[in-house]
Structure 1
Amino acid sequence: MNKDLILEVCVDSLDSATAAEQGGAQRIELCSDLLEGGITPSTGLIAAVRGAISIELCTLIRPRGGDFCYSEAEMEIMRRDVCAAKQQGADGVALGILDVDGRIDAARMRELAELAAPMKVTCHRAFDMSYDLFQSVADLQNIGAHCILTSGGKETAAEGVETLKRIVQAANGRIRIMAGSGIEAHNVAGIVERTGVREIHASLKSSVASPMRFRKEEISMGSLKGMEYQRHVVLRDRVRELLHAAGNHGTAWQDHGRNKL
């Protein structure tokens, strides 16, 4: 049994955030535009989610899709977004900056970590895109990051289990390691057992149809044609299913007194 296992669910809407909490997740990572791998959510969404849930709220800080090497103008946006997340009551931020050679940009990461305090800082999967994962572990420890989200440098955590295990060993308890990417009920127990991670990150998305009766199927407002009339949301039962498969029933949900929007 894994009673001390922590589940973070990646969400991009208020409905998904509340479903994650009701399913037993201990933390959410809040973002927007998951089709781009996630970008910084609006302050309105952060505020709405903070008012609706009592579990930990980690806000993604990523000004755009694509790589993780940022201009000074983008860095200024990230500074402002970190401050906005703090003002809206986030418990933590997830961010990651690489230099042109694929190494952790320690100076910029340290600056944002200091600006974020006392919020917790997670390095997101920019880590998996870095040149040397084990040097990156040491660099992130040195700048005071609290957690690393990683798939072990592979497309999915299931593919990266051997490297994930080595990363956990290298961290040696000095920084938390959270496994993520492709984690589902059918593989979570094996990943946890083989790697020794105590935290997992999952999206657990399901597709739901739009309630609209009138549709213009021939016009697309986004980059993925044919996706206008469906949304991907977190379902409470899928969260419960994953926690049950991991041997952890999560946090029993109750109204802890926050204002519900």
Structure 2
Amino acid sequence: MRSERVVLEVIATTVADAMAAARGGADRLELITATGEGGLTPSIGMIEAVVAAVSIPVNVIVRPHSRSFVYDADDFAVMLRDVRAVKSAGANAVVIGMLTASREVDRDGLLRVVDAADGMPVTFHRAFDEARDLHEALDVLLEFDAVTNVLTSGGKGSVLDAVDEVRSLVARAARSHCTVLAGAGLTVDRVHEFVRATGVRAVHFGAGVRCAAHASVSEEKVRVVRGLLSG
């Protein structure tokens, strides 16, 4: 592994989650609600409370529903309002993603989000994994300076089954402004090996650092992962 620090992002759904992740050594949070639906936009009250409770960056998902990543005009109207509200609530970045019906990155939609974010960084979430061609989708995202991270499992249900694809994406994004953020299915016992095999410089943990699938974040598990990444 190279010497620079590997970023550890942890999903939080409550203030308690956020505080446990921060104490355990997480570098950044992704704040969501409705984990059973893959993550939806949390309330403004929750965003404000989490931002006030921790000193690490809080990235907030903006996703109005879980039906698909293809959005209509009404969906976009809601999403753009949410992006502005998330910024006003003090979030570090917005986590969002949108595709066309032909499973390509929705350039026009993303451009509107970037405009609404008004300088706030954007993470493109795992809508990316449903794109028709992941390398083509990454090339589109690299055209947007505001997109600083792309969360991906390499197109697989678990990122642990996509080592070659993730390594390829990392190479494609090398020396760019955008970081490949590997997530979905990472476990404490496999993360060190995975980072060495792929060269990723940022990892995203959800259930892997919880006491059970839908339980609270475990401060101790976060601390163990932080130690493995730092070792």
With structure 2 as the length reference, what TM-score do the two structures score? Answer: 0.94
- Per the alignment, in what secondary structure is the counterpart of residue 70 of structure 1? coil
Question: What residue identity is the alignment partner of 1:159?
Answer: D
Higher helix share: 2
- Residue 247 (structure 1) shift: 3.0
Moved over 6 A (4+): none
- Residue 141 (structure 1) shift: 1.0
- Per the alignment, in what secondary structure is the counterpart of residue 126 of structure 1? helix
- 1:215-230 matches, within 5 Å, as none
- Per the alignment, in what secondary structure is the counterpart of residue 9 of structure 1? strand
2:179 to 159, 176, 182: 176
Q: Distance in 2 between matches of 1:171 and 1:4?
A: 18
Q: Is the 8 A contact 1:106 1:143 kept in 2?
A: no
Q: Which runs of 5+ in 2 are unaligned?
A: none
* Aligned residues between the structures: 226
Match of 1:146 in 2: 148
Q: Is the 8 A contact 2:5 2:229 kept in 1?
A: no
- 1:70-81 matches, within 5 Å, as 70-81=71-82
Which of the pair has more CA radius of gyration? 1
1:191 corresponds to 2:199: no
- Residue 77 (structure 1) shift: 0.6
1:202 to 193, 205, 214: 205
- Measured against aligned partners, the alpha-carbon deviations of 1:141-172 in whole angstroms (never above 9, x if no partner) come to 11331110111111111101100000011112
Q: Distance in 2 between matches of 1:187 and 1:93?
A: 28
- Per the alignment, in what secondary structure is the counterpart of residue 154 of structure 2? coil
- Residue 207 (structure 1) shift: 3.7
Q: Distance in 1 between matches of 2:85 and 2:25?
A: 27
Identify the structure with bigger relative contact order (alpha carbons < 8 Å, sequence gap 6+): 1
Q: Is the 8 A contact 2:97 2:124 kept in 1?
A: yes
After superposing the two structures, state which structure 1 stretch, 2-11 or 43-52, moved more.
2-11
- Measured against aligned partners, the alpha-carbon deviations of 1:173-221 in whole angstroms (never above 9, x if no partner) come to 212111101112111111111111100000122249xxxxxxxxxxxxx
- Per the alignment, in what secondary structure is the counterpart of residue 146 of structure 1? strand
With structure 1 as the length reference, what TM-score do the two structures score? Answer: 0.84
Match of 1:129 in 2: 130
- Change in CA separation of 1:3 and 1:138 when aligned onto 2, cut-off 3 Å: closer
- Residue 117 (structure 1) shift: 2.8
- Per the alignment, in what secondary structure is the counterpart of residue 204 of structure 2? strand
- Per the alignment, in what secondary structure is the counterpart of residue 160 of structure 2? coil
